[in-house]
Amino acid sequence: MTTNINLKKAVFTIDGIEGEEFAGFTSGMSWNGWACPYFTKEVAERIMDKICEWGNTKAWYVEENNTYYTNLNCDSGYCDEEDTEWWEGSEYIINGESVVLYCVGGGSWCWDEEVKELTEYQRNILRELSFALHKISEECGDSEFFHNDIICELNGFNKSIDELACEVRNIAEGE
């Protein structure tokens, strides 16, 4: 069964694993202000390896039910079953491809989504794109096919070419 939510690429960090970033996906949902990320199996494995370095932690994967399990409160090898958490893999469609993702720690761990600042080069590209979109709108505004009310459908929101140009310009200016 495929889960149908809008996911975008993101990078995440977590307290207790300093200096590490984990590539994943976000739906924009949060829990108590913390991100609820989704990860591929490869990244989930890396997370499991890292949390096991903490000491009193056990992490394992059960292939039969495609689920990762963790217990962060294991003393002297004993883990209280009540403290065991699990994250079952679910199928998502991303860019037209089916991908199995795991919401490791979502709704339980203190994940932060890292926000990357645009470089000056990226800002310049966005400014040029904004200019080009305004120019297209000006030159084609009277055309029967290409008029100012053309709506660009992008990720579920609708914008005219002029509105899109303004949005791109705002992003370039950091607004």
How does DSSP assign 131-165, residue by residue?
HHHHHHHHHHTBSSSSBTT-EEEETTEEEEHHHHH
pTM of this structure: 0.66
pLDDT number for residue 154? 46
Note whether 104 and 39 are within 8 A (CB).
Answer: yes
146 token code pair? 């290409």
72: CB partners within 8 A, 6+ apart = 51, 54, 56, 57, 83, 85
> Which pLDDT does position 101 carry in this prediction?
97
CA 75 to chain centre: 34
Q: What pLDDT was estimated at residue 72? A: 85
Q: Taking the CB of residue 168, how many other CB atoms lie within 10 A of it?
A: 21
Q: Are 41 and 61 in contact (CB under 8 A)?
A: no
The residue whose two tokens read 């059960």 is 62
- pLDDT score, position 175: 54
Which pLDDT tens digits describe the chain residue by residue (175 residues)? 667 678 888 999 998 888 899 999 999 899 999 999 999 999 999 999 999 888 788 899 999 999 999 988 877 667 778 889 999 999 998 878 899 999 999 999 999 999 877 777 777 777 778 777 777 767 766 555 554 444 544 444 456 666 767 777 777 666 5
- Pairwise CA distance, residues 101 & 94, whole Å: 11
Are 29 and 111 in contact by the 8 Å Cβ rule? The answer is no
pLDDT confidence of residue 158: 57
In the prediction, which pLDDT does 81 show? 81
